[in-house]
Amino acid sequence: MEKREQLYEGKAKKVYATDDPELVIVDYKDDATAGNGAKKGTIRGKGVVNNKVTNSLMKMLEENGVPTHFVEQLSDRETVVKKVSIVPLEVIVRNVAAGSFTARLGVAEGTRFASPTLEYSYKDDALGDPLINSYHAIALGAATREELDTINAYAFKVNEVLKAYLAKFNIDLIDFKLEFGRLPGGQIVLADEISPDTCRFWDASTGAHLDKDLFRRDLGGEEDAYREVLKRLLGE
């Protein structure tokens, strides 16, 4: 596998072409942003944690029937994934009220829902990733009804599998964001990352944040929290 030119640089990752047109290499950075880029900083070691945590969770999900883009980890920060065309939706699943849900709907943080919720944001930095419904997603051409049905089913499956898995490590899965992609044949697979950047992880005993909220809210301790997630999940 040969690493070729950089195709893209995002807020937290770079993507490189390879000599195989169906594969790309993701390179995880320590750069951290919040509030759609309004707050910028660094969380030392974050790239390594997010790479390793994402890969181990993707493998676990694949074994549990959720197809993903994961192919092979190359190094501490680099992973080979299948090249996909990203569905321009952030798919957010929530078990407990937190973050924008509490702000928008006036529900106290920590309120546990009887059943999980699902919402979409339209991926558009200029618009600030606005909340949309499934009719909007179809009208915008982001996905078809059939694709949304598949995405919803995978998102709830990820929630069930991941929630049970993380509970074994004394981590409470509060909410998370997923992104999906289309393979050349049109099949929908789970893409992007599943990490303390994209999930709210609370210690199941103390409720302590083990995720990016420490950075977003200037609470401090984010480097230790990311390391703690890696230690619990991978023993490293």
The binding site for ligand C5P (CB under 6 A) comprises 90, 92, 98-101, 129, 175-177, 198-200, 212
Closer residue to ligand C5P (CB): 1 or 219:
219
In which residue are the tokens 């999940």 written? 233
Cβ atoms < 10 Å from Cβ of 84: 21
Closest approach of ligand C5P to the CB of residue 179, in Å: 9
Nearest approach, Cβ of residue 127 and ligand C5P (Å): 12
Residue with Cβ nearer ligand C5P (100 or 133): 100
* Angle subtended by helix axes 46-63 and 145-167, to nearest 10: 110
CB of 136 to ligand C5P, least distance (A): 17
Could you tell me the two tokens for 43?
């969380």
Closest CB to ligand C5P among residues 52, 212: 212
Q: Which is nearer to ligand C5P, 39 or 145 (CB)?
A: 39
Would you say 72 and 78 are in contact if contact means Cβ atoms under 8 Å apart?
A: no
Q: How many other CB atoms are there within 10 angstroms of residue 45's CB atom?
A: 16
- Spatial separation of the C-alpha atoms in residues 100 and 97, rounded to whole Å: 9
Task: Provide the minimum distance between the beta carbon of 100 and ligand C5P in the complex, in angstroms, as a whole number.
Answer: 3
Cα torsion 40, 44, 47, 52: sign? negative
* Contact assessment for residue 74 and residue 85, using Cβ atoms and an 8 Å cutoff: no
- Residue whose Cβ sits closest to ligand C5P: 99
Shortest distance (Å) from residue 119 CB to ligand C5P: 8
C-beta of 100 vs 144, nearer to ligand C5P: 100
